[in-house]
Structures are given as C-alpha cells and as structure tokens.
Structure 1
Amino acid sequence: MASQRIFQLGLRRTAASGFTRTQTAGRIVQRRFAATQNVNQETGQEILANQRLKRPVSPHLAIYRPQITWYASSLNRITGILLSGGLYLFGIAYLAAPTLGWHLETPSMVAAVASWPVFAKISAKALVAFPFFFHSVNGLRHLTWDLGLGLKNQTVIRTGWTAVGFTVVSALYYTFLV
C-alpha cells in the first residue's frame, strides 16, 4: 500500500511539473495562475465571438488533390445503393405484378428484351454490368482490408486502380461477349 502511495505522489509531481509549486509545512502545494474576471452574458458572447474569429478554419475539400481512395469509396456506396435499390424495386414490382396485371414472368420478360434493338440491349447490359462488377471487385478489396492485408498507401492506390481496370475489362466482356 505504501508503494502505491509513493508511486501516486511521484506521478502527481511529474504531472504537475508545468505548474508553479511551493512547499509549505512539508507538503507541495500546486498553483496554476489563470486570469479570470466576472463578465455579464453579453460581454461573454462578444469574447466568444472574437475567439471564434481567430480560430483556424479546417481546410475545404476543394484544396485536396482527389485520390483513387476517395473516388472508389464514393462509387462503392453509390453502386451499392443503385444495385440494392434496383433489386428492391424489381422485387416489389414482381410481387405486385399479379395484382396489378403486369406480366413479369420469365417468358414474357425474355420476349420483351428480345424485341429491343441491339443498342438498347447493350446499353441495358452495360448499365447493370459496370456497377455490379465495380461493387463486387471493390467489395473483395475491402474484405482483404478486413483481414489486415494491403493497408499501405501504395498498395491501396495500386489495388484501387486494379479494381477499376478489372471492372472495365470484366464489364466490357460481359456487355459485348456474353
């Protein structure tokens, strides 16, 4: 118990080294001088407003050089919202189709898409392929980060551009060749 007390006193003395210390009757008395004054609320608000004017302003996003991590993070969220939103909308429409008299069963969907012009088919496939492949590849990238792998700056940048490249190649392959 005595050793704990000695340690605590030493710790207090070390922590208080920035304060003025005086010794009275064998005890160390710590004093920190602060200038205080009583002010009314209106004067206090003025002082606070002046202090706020002198504070540094945090830098705005416009001064930063955009990086792949910024774009990849934003696109990952956007593609996730688009893909899940499309899935929910189609799911709700599919469930409501018998009640509303819509024909969303497979044979009628295949017949409808087969009647589209080639440009519309390619556009529809690309509209789904690019977000799907980017979100999938970037999701794998995030899973490797969850394992603690590839967290160095250069590796993050390299894997970001690799994800973009693989997305373009796989989405174009899906769009035109499959």
Structure 2
Amino acid sequence: MFSQKVAQQSLRRLAVQQPYAMRSSLMRASPAAVALGQNIQTRQVTSSPNTEDPTQILVKQRLRRPIAPHLTIYKPQIGWIGSSLHRITGVALSGTLYLWATAYLVSPALGWHLESATMAASMGAMPVLAKVLLKSTLALPFTYHCMNGLRHLMWDLGRGLSNPVIIKTGWTVVGLSIASAVGLALL
C-alpha cells in the first residue's frame, strides 16, 4: 500500500515538473510493439489460499457492516406519516375492491348470496352501533385517501411545500377525513 502511494506521488511530481517526459516515454514503443500488445502494462495477480465457501464470504462481510439507523432516529412528523398512510390506504382500498369484486363475480358459482338485496337486508338486521362501526371502518381510509390525495395534487403543482404549510395541511387532512368519515357512517 505504502509503495503504491510513493509511486503515485512520484509520477504526479514527474507529470507536473516535466509534462512531456511521461508522454515521450509512452511514445517510445514502436507501432509493431503496440500492435502486438507488447507495451501493455501488467500487474501481478495475487491470490490467497482461501478454502472458505465463496457464498459464505459475502455473508460474513455483511455481518460486519454497520447498520444504518433508518427510521429509528427520526422524530415522527405529519409529512412523512401522512404520505405513508396515503400509500397504505391506497393499497388497502384497492386490495379490498379487488377481493370484493372477485367474490361478487364468483359468488353465483359458489352459491354465495352477495347481491344487493341480500346485502341491504343483512345491513338492516345489524344493530346501530355495529352499522356505525362497520361504515366508519370502511369510510375512514376512503376519506383520508381522498383528502390527502388532494394535498398531494397541490404539492405536484408546487404549492404548499414549506414546513409550516405541510404541518397545517396534514392536520387539516386528518381532521376533515375523520369528520367526513363520521358523517358518512351516520348516514
């Protein structure tokens, strides 16, 4: 390692003091030597008598690497929590829609009764508290995703990207989505 640094430093000094000296030393090779590849610099191949399993070398190296603290060092903020919840509610809503649509399509073949009249009758037979809880559970992700989607669209237009505005709009989205979810659940 030390000898390489010394060699590099001496080459740099030579290049600075005599810039044409290095160029002329490279140009001494004849065209035939260049064509035959005889002027190519080579280095010694080093190998170690390693008898370890090659797949385990990388595993051992990974165990010695430092681990980044990731999310554990950050104070939770409304900006990144809101964006994370926006993604989570989007996945939950679309996953629920796909499951429901698939069940609705295969229900006649399986003998299930998922038609509108059956669903309305089963909802009507539920106690009021169960209805409100079920509708709130379905309405809250929907209203949050809609309200926060408007916030993200505002950000896409380049508006409201300062920290105070992000905090205000984040808590506004939370309040409006809870209020609208409760309003939908009480219908």
Report the TM-score, using the length of structure 2 for normalisation.
0.66
Tell me which residue corresponds to 1:114. 124
Q: Which of 88, 93, 98 lines up with 2:103 in the alignment?
A: 93
Structure 1 unaligned runs (5+)?
Answer: 1-18, 30-37, 44-48
Note the alpha carbon deviations across 1:41-80, whole angstroms, 9 max, x for none: 479xxxxx99x97x87633422211111221122112111
Choose between structure 1 and 2: higher strand proportion: 1
* RMSD (Å) for aligned C-alpha atoms: 3.1
Tell me which residue corresponds to 2:92. 82
Partner Cα distance (1:88, 1:173) in 2: 26
Residue 148 of structure 1 deviates from its aligned partner by 1.4
Structure 2 unaligned runs (5+)?
Answer: 1-11, 23-44, 51-59
* AA in 1 matched with 2:101: G
Partner Cα distance (1:23, 1:62) in 2: 53
Q: Which of 177, 183, 186 lines up with 1:173 in the alignment?
A: 183
Tell me which residue corresponds to 1:59. 69
Mapping of 1:5-154 within 5 angstroms? Answer: 20=13, 22-24=16-18, 27=20, 40-41=47-48, 58-154=68-164
Change beyond 3 A, Cα 1:41–1:140? farther
Residue 136 of structure 1 deviates from its aligned partner by 0.6
Secondary structure (helix, strand or coil) at the match of 1:104 reads coil
Partner Cα distance (1:154, 1:82) in 2: 29
| Higher alpha-carbon Rg | 2
